[in-house]
Amino acid sequence: MVKVTNISDRTHWRRLPSGAVLQWDAGQTRDVESKRLLEEVSGQACFKITDTVGKAKVGGGVKTHVKGSKPRGRPSKPKAKKEEVKGLKKAKKGKAD
């Protein structure tokens, strides 16, 4: 994959092999993977081709033990507690004589 820059002051359109159309505005840079499109563009003076695009010197690793962000906004209300309804007490029967 290489970067192709339109160095002219006009907008250019190019058709990809898949049928999609690329539009390059004046001074715009695009990443190009198609070999056919690169061959077509490399012969024209209005395009500048730069080095490959890659992940060189990208890093930093995976951050571990990082404190999470605080939630913003109004805190939620506490949930209402349900009161248990006790059943009716049974009447005590007296001793039989």
**pLDDT by residue (tens digit) across 34-83?**
888 888 888 888 888 887 655 666 667 777 778 888 878 888 888 888 87
What was the pLDDT predicted at 58? 66
* Residue 9 placed within a domain: yes
Report yes or no on 97 lying in a domain: no
Q: Region 7-24: what's the mean pLDDT?
A: 85
Does residue 94 belong to any structural domain of this protein?
Answer: no
Flag whether 69 is in a domain.
no
SS3 content of the chain, % helix, strand, coil (to 5): 10, 25, 70
Establish if 20 belongs to a structural domain. Answer: yes
Q: What is the rounded radius of gyration, in angstroms, for the C-alpha atoms of the chain?
A: 36
Residue 13 is predicted with a pLDDT of: 87
**Is the per-residue pLDDT at 23 higher than 70?**
yes
Residue 84 lies in a domain: no
- Per the structure, the complete domain to which residue 15 belongs is given by 2-52
Per the domain annotation, does 31 fall within a domain?
yes
- Selection from 29, 24, 35 nearest residue 4 by Cα: 29
The total number of structural domains in the chain stands at 1
Residue whose C-alpha is closest to residue 13's, from 35, 44, 54 = 44
Report yes or no on 42 lying in a domain.
Answer: yes
Residue 29 has pLDDT above 60, yes or no: yes
Global pTM reads 0.47
Residue 12: pLDDT over 70: yes
